[in-house]
Chain A
Amino acid sequence: MRHIVTKGLVLDEPLIFEVSSAGRKGVEPAVCDVPVVDAAKVIPAAMLRGANDPMAGFPEVSEIDAVRHYTRLSQWNFGVDTGFYPLGSCTMKYNPKINEDAARLEGLSAIHPYQPEELSQGALRLIYELEDYLAEISGMSAITLQPSAGAQGELTGLLMIAAYFKAKGRPRHKIIIPDTAHGTNPASSALAGFKVVPIKSESNGVLTLDAVKAVMDDDTAALMLTNPNTIGIFERNIHDIAAYVHKKGGLIYCDGANLNAIMGIMKLGEMGVDVVQFNLHKTFSTPHGGGGPGSGPVGVGKALVPFLPGPRIKKSGNKYKFVRDNPKSIGRVKAFYGNFGVMVKAYAYIRRMGPDGIRKAALTAILNANYIKESLKGTFHLPYDQPCMHECVFSDKAQSAYGVTTIDMAKRLIDYGYHPPTVYFPLVVHGAIMIEPTETETKATLDGFIETMKEIAEEARANPDLLKSAPVNTKVQRVDEVRAAREPILRWRPGA
């Protein structure tokens, strides 16, 4: 189904500071029912805000000003609820509404992290069971739900790997990372104190045992890979590679960003994976929030269990308890227990889907990606022409003859009402266009997108300027990102 783009009522909206008017009030705090304290009487003047208040310029608006302001801003945004969002490696699937309602239940939101365990049994149970479900889905021995997002999960996993070798009395210092990896992988490795050893994938897009053998040594702590990889291809040599890495005393870290392709079909633990991080905001349907919050649980094999961040949760009888005595733990990576509000949504998703739904989601995600790949492969260059998993990667090679690049086609897609795919990633594909349709889209939507992509390819040939000047149907047209970096304006200032 294709949409006809019409001009909506797009209203401009100044910065909130620019509509501020001295003395205007929004939502006033409650009336004070205890004696009002003069701050100057209990706190030394040097510690109080002075007359020369830098908070001058802080907005003063009425409630309706605020409501219209944010309503208008929301209308300039594009989300999954607005339309198709085939952003590769980000798994922009539908975010079920029941999940949102669940996280807002008073019994799941008005609870303090330090309230007594006996008053938090529902929360502890939910965390405990979600750990259990993720362990079952991944085939790992234990899970921590503490990390806030995928990258923090990576750091957590890598710190556990470092601690594991240190505990053996033989610290190792290198991590092998394929050139197709997400940027967070090398960044997390460096933060955990490792040296990154890059490794190339073969011409068919997968890692080979020989390539691993060439760099694997007894100072290598782990091979960090993504499976399926970022080209959307399953690393079919993983079993042999894992066996070899293990023989050399190393570990396998799997970036679970692409777990949506294999859940219910294969278990990472059975492939020889020792550590994996999940992205609840990708695979388990929790929303991306315009840049978080996500949640990045980590699963580990038996050998790494003692190193998990604390506290852990144990069940004895019908009671759930925190366990704080974990002497080998790497320590915590954040305050409290993790992004509980996000866990609630992932928990709701898994309970709604059940084992059959989980598997069907993965199979359908694969089916949809192959449908797009097959439908567009005559139109766009397909660097790896083989069955894909949950996403497929094209390039702008065919269109570059007309001077049209990936970014031009991405911007033109916006004019047709689609969010562009991931562009220029993975880095190994020049001008990459990475499409991940997910399982939650209708065939009509996929067909509309396919038809539009073909039309854009035709426009690239016949009228490349149309693409160069895209998008034209948006609130703002192509944004000058170079200027933003060269002449930085990072905040509003009075009089600016």
Chain B
Amino acid sequence: MPYIPHSDKDIADILKTVGAASTEEFLKYLPEELRLKGKLNLPDGLSEQELSAELRSIAARNSTVNGYASFLGAGAYNHYIPATVGHLASRSEFYTAYTPYQPEISQGTLQAVFEYQTLVCQMTAMDVANASLYDGASATAEAVLMARRITGRDTVVMSAALHPEYRETVRTYLVGAGNHVTEALYCTEAGTTLPEAVEAACGDAPACLVVQHPNFFGSIEDLATLAEVIHRKKGLLIVVTAEPVSFGLLKPPGELGADIAVGENQSFGNPLAFGGPYLGFMATKTEYVRQMPGRLIGQTVDKNGSRAYCLTFATREQHIRRERATSNICTNHGLCALAAAIHLVSLGRVGLCALANLNLSKAEYLKARLSSVGIAPAFTSPTFNEFTFKLDTDPDAFMKALLKKRIMAGVGLKRFYPELARHIVVSATEMNSKADIDRFAEEAGKVTR
């Protein structure tokens, strides 16, 4: 059997030690009526070679973003992953280890994640970041729960321009604690969260305002104004960033009034992988660290005074605090954080800023090219590497026609926003060549003409 190394003699020797006649003998301690009589109804086992062929044939039934010109974003971004990431994150000393409970033999994971925490702080301009959460959506839900603990208040205001699947996740997580969630409308002209709507939704005692930046439509939010509204009401500002490459260009959340910065770091080092595993991040101010969920790595010393790292502030966590823990999270996304750190380190400071500018340039070029064929942006606000346009015709037919030309023309918004039935959100990254963008605009022009 694969992966089970005992020879018949090994088994015979072990049985002799344990005083059993056969391996099956251990089953006699299990209730007879619960023991399976037959065999599981699963396909028979395959040799490694057969399995390899089978997996390839399944993979071949998917089209990839490399086989098409893909302008899909909306929370999952196609970026170039440097070769270093795959090679280093694939070192099995990293990926076959468990959570670093034994610091003396886990210094590699611990130092790498300590560095990752620092990188997140540097990008977001926050004081402290945790080791990772599952993804941007669940990180947002955890941030909302954290804001409730800090403020002792219930009311949660979410911008309607927050990713719809993030909003749905927040609502799911809040069921247990009573919902009290309201949504603040976006400005139909600018495509950004309306401060007046936030003001109205807040009531007297809001726990927090949740804003995505750049938001789901790609629009860059006026965070300073929104921060003023929520802070005047003594609530916390949670800034969600689903496309962290924007940190290379935009003023970070920490400088614009964010109390908690969360989001999705998939863009760094993690493949699209049909939606997961991704990498939730969370950063906050020092004063709130004891309310933060998730693992935290701290620097300390060993008994000889040498610098060392270990998991810390465990008294927040489920294995110590049980039902009074700040979160139930245990396994997080450590390896995804490692991949992100390797990507960020490989890029470096200049590289990250250059990448951000490259993304902006590509998206602006796409915007200009689409405009030139009569497809104009739907909103007036500035954008980063993603924006929304509106068609005069049926967007499903439009996307279908472009698919035939091997172009994935963005994500239709009808499913998420009934009022935006003719809107499509598109993203352009360094992966979209000028030729692809030109072709997209040209074909789009033909379809809408």
Contacts and interface: CB of A to CB of B under 8 A. Distances in A.
B250 A340 contact: no
A170 interface: no
Interface stretch (A29-37, A207-215, A398-406, A458-466): A29-37
Interface in B234-253: 247-252
A155 B328 contact: yes
A2 interface: no
B78 interface: yes
A153 to B, nearest CB: 10
A133 interface: yes
Given A66-B345, A358-B42, A109 B271 contact: yes
Contact of B346 (A32, A44, A47, A63): A63
A243 B22 CA distance: 32
Given A234-B29, A289-B94, A478-B104, A37 B18 contact: no
Interface in B300-357: 300-304, 306, 308-315, 317-325, 327-336, 338, 342, 344-355, 357
Nearest to A82: B93
B372 interface: no
A220 interface: no
Given A78-B93, A133-B42, A332 B168 contact: yes
A466 B122 CA distance: 43
B344 to A, nearest CB: 8
Interface in A108-158: 108-116, 119-123, 125-126, 133, 136-137, 148-152, 154-155
A367 B14 contact: yes
Contact of B249 (A49, A411, A442, A487): A49
Contacts of B182: none
B31 interface: yes
Nearest to B92: A81
B199 interface: no
A441 B14 CA distance: 13
B136 to A, nearest CB: 6
A443 interface: yes
A299 interface: no
Contact of A336 (B90, B250, B276, B324): B276
Contacts of A75: 93, 108
Given A114-B76, A136-B41, A442-B6, A108 B59 contact: yes
Contacts of B19: 374
A111 B408 CA distance: 12
A364 B299 contact: no
B15 to A, nearest CB: 8
B84 A354 contact: no
Interface string B36-72: 1001111111101001101110111111111010101
A177 B402 CA distance: 55
A148 B3 contact: no
Given A34-B362, A49-B252, A488-B289, A332 B137 contact: yes
A300 B42 CA distance: 19
Given A16-B345, A184-B330, A29 B351 contact: yes
B330 A151 contact: yes
A202 interface: no
Interface in A326-342: 330-342
Interface stretch (B152-160, B171-179, B183-191, B200-208): B171-179
B115 A16 contact: yes
B82 interface: yes
A344 B56 CA distance: 12
Interface string B105-124: 11111011111011101110
A57 interface: yes
Contacts of A66: 84, 88, 342, 345-346
A331 B357 CA distance: 37
Given A15-B115, A25-B351, A192-B176, A480 B300 contact: yes
A467 to B, nearest CB: 14
Interface string A15-34: 11100000111111110111
A187 interface: yes
A150 B330 contact: yes
B401 interface: no
Contacts of A187: 318, 321-323, 325, 327-328
B96 A335 contact: no
A356 B97 contact: no
A205 interface: no
Contact of B66 (A106, A334, A348): A106
A98 interface: yes
B93 A441 contact: no
A13 to B, nearest CB: 8
A151 B328 CA distance: 6
B260 to A, nearest CB: 15
B310 A112 contact: no
B340 to A, nearest CB: 12
Nearest to B13: A443
Interface string A293-317: 1110000000000000100000000
B298 A490 contact: yes
A281 B58 CA distance: 22
Contact of B111 (A73, A162, A337): A73
A492 B118 CA distance: 6
Interface in A226-255: 234, 236, 238-239
A410 B102 contact: yes
Given A335-B137, A367-B14, A375-B17, 17 more contacts: A29-B355, A32-B362, A54-B122, A69-B345, A70-B342, A81-B93, A115-B68, A115-B408, A152-B328, A288-B331, A333-B172, A371-B18, A374-B18, A425-B319, A477-B306, A479-B104, A484-B298
5 contacts: A33-B434, A59-B119, A107-B59, A236-B29, A290-B98
Q: Which 9 residue pairs are nearest across A and B when measured between Cβ atoms?
A: A336-B275, A354-B45, A107-B59, A291-B334, A193-B176, A289-B335, A122-B61, A79-B96, A113-B275
